[in-house]
Amino acid sequence: MADSTDAQATEITQASVEAPALTDSSGLPHHNFFSRLYTGTGAFEVVGRRRLWYGISGVIVAIAIVSIVLRGFTFGIDFKGGTTVSLPRGDATVAAVSDVFRKTLGVDPDAVVVVGSGSAATIQIRSEPLDNTQTSKLRDALFDAFQPKGNDGKPSKQAISDSAVSETWGGQITDKALIALAVFVALVSLYITVRYERYMAISALTTMCFDLAVTAGIYSLVGFEVTPATIIGWLTILGFSLYDTVIVFDKVEENTHGFQHTARRTFAEQANLAINQTFMRSINTSLISVLPVLALMVVAVWLLGVGTLKDLALVQLVGILVGTYSSIFFATPLLVTLRERTELVRTHTRRVLK
């Protein structure tokens, strides 16, 4: 009986030795690049190339700041005040409407855009504040030039509408928007400071500022109009970016818990592993978020012609892309750089690399 037991033990030992280790990536089809990317087992070296990402991020921020300083923003009527005049599109064109405005008032409009599509399409004129006389004169000129039709299908001056926002009201809107943004940033900063250790909090807040600066810079550079919906969108995408960053940081916190007691990986390697483990989740979350935003833009621009929806969707689209980049390629590398300045991490790194 003893001889039989020894023989079985010997066979099991030999089988264990001959069986390939699951951690050995050589020759195993599930350890190719795409499998490692999907399973999060280290397809990308992000932290090790953080100088590259710092350089790219620095260039992006520099361009954004220069654009904000030199070009400024294109503020909507709700912020700076002004007059909006709308009429059914009919046979009118943007160029023709702009020409009528110029000949009637002697100045160029701020913007002339087509809103909506098909029979519901309208042409919207945005300009500096106009007084009642100027507005009436412009309405008469537009009616004479294009004969817009009312609901009964007959030409009617009532088909031309106008609205005005005073500079005082615009200033109040601006102040409230800035207050809302400041309160949001303050509350988020408080939460992150309480929830995470110091270096994670610094990295998360720096990443949030990066996202805000880059998104604002893109708006300035491209000339997108800044409206109250844009401010709401900024608050939304800052929340999205922080959510993505928190997901990665939670994994970093899990991977590096008690790291000083092991010599398997350095802190940087554990952090890089955390990025890879959450990489597909970040990408999938971003894709799932982008799809309804794109749908919202299609509905807003081509079907309904609702400018507010377009503004909200546009800033969310830009913010999601910027936030996804920063949560992967900026937040965690910055955290590693800060932590590697501490004696604990430096000592542990030397011990692992010996």
pTM above the 0.75 mark?
no
- 117 or 182: whose pLDDT is higher? 182
Spatial separation of the C-alpha atoms in residues 115 and 303, rounded to whole Å:
9
Instruction: Kindly state the average pLDDT of the residues 205-212.
Output: 90
Which DSSP helix (H) or strand (E) runs through 227? none
3-state secondary structure of 113: strand
Q: Amino acid identity of 129?
A: P
pLDDT of residue 40: 52
The answer to whether 267 and 256 have CB atoms below 8 angstroms apart is yes
Instruction: Kindly state the average pLDDT of the residues 274-295.
Output: 85
Q: How confident is the model over 20-65, as pLDDT tens digits?
A: 333 333 343 445 655 655 555 556 789 989 999 999 999 999 999 9
Looking at the chain, which residues constitute the CATH 3.30.70.260 domain(s)? 82-165
pLDDT of residue 326: 92
**Model confidence at 333, in pLDDT bands (50, 70, 90)?**
very high
Looking at the chain, which residues constitute the CATH 1.20.1640.10 domain(s)? 43-75+168-353
Architecture of the 82-165 domain: 2-Layer Sandwich (3.30)
- 77 or 341: whose pLDDT is higher? 341
Instruction: Kindly state the average pLDDT of the residues 307-330.
Output: 82
- 204 or 42: whose pLDDT is higher? 204
Spatial separation of the C-alpha atoms in residues 234 and 73, rounded to whole Å:
15
Which of 81, 79, 97, 98 minimizes the C-alpha distance to 164?
81
Q: What's the whole-number average pLDDT of the chain?
A: 80
Q: Which residues of 14-46 are buried (b: 16+ CB within 10 A; e: fewer)?
A: eeeeeeeeeeeeeeeeeeeeeebbeebeebbeb
Q: Which of 83-87, 194-198, 301-305 has the lowest mean pLDDT?
A: 301-305
CATH H superfamily, domain 43-75+168-353: Multidrug efflux transporter AcrB transmembrane domain (1.20.1640.10)
Q: How confident is the model over 147-185, as pLDDT tens digits?
A: 888 877 888 888 888 888 776 776 777 788 788 888 888
Q: How confident is the model over 58-95, as pLDDT tens digits?
A: 999 999 999 999 988 877 777 777 888 988 888 888 89
Spatial separation of the C-alpha atoms in residues 220 and 266, rounded to whole Å:
41
- 333 or 235: whose pLDDT is higher? 333
Measured CA angle at 45 (ends 44, 49), to 5 deg: 140
Instruction: Kindly state the average pLDDT of the residues 297-310.
Output: 62
Q: How many other C-beta atoms are found inside a 10 Å radius of the C-beta of residue 90?
A: 16
Spatial separation of the C-alpha atoms in residues 209 and 216, rounded to whole Å:
10
- 312 or 291: whose pLDDT is higher? 291
Q: Which of 73-82, 207-216, 296-305 has the lowest mean pLDDT?
A: 296-305
Chain-centroid distance, C-alpha 126: 28
Instruction: Kindly state the average pLDDT of the residues 199-217.
Output: 91
Residues 6+ positions from 165 with CB-CB distance below 8 Å:
77, 78, 81, 82, 83
Instruction: Kindly state the average pLDDT of the residues 241-262.
Output: 87
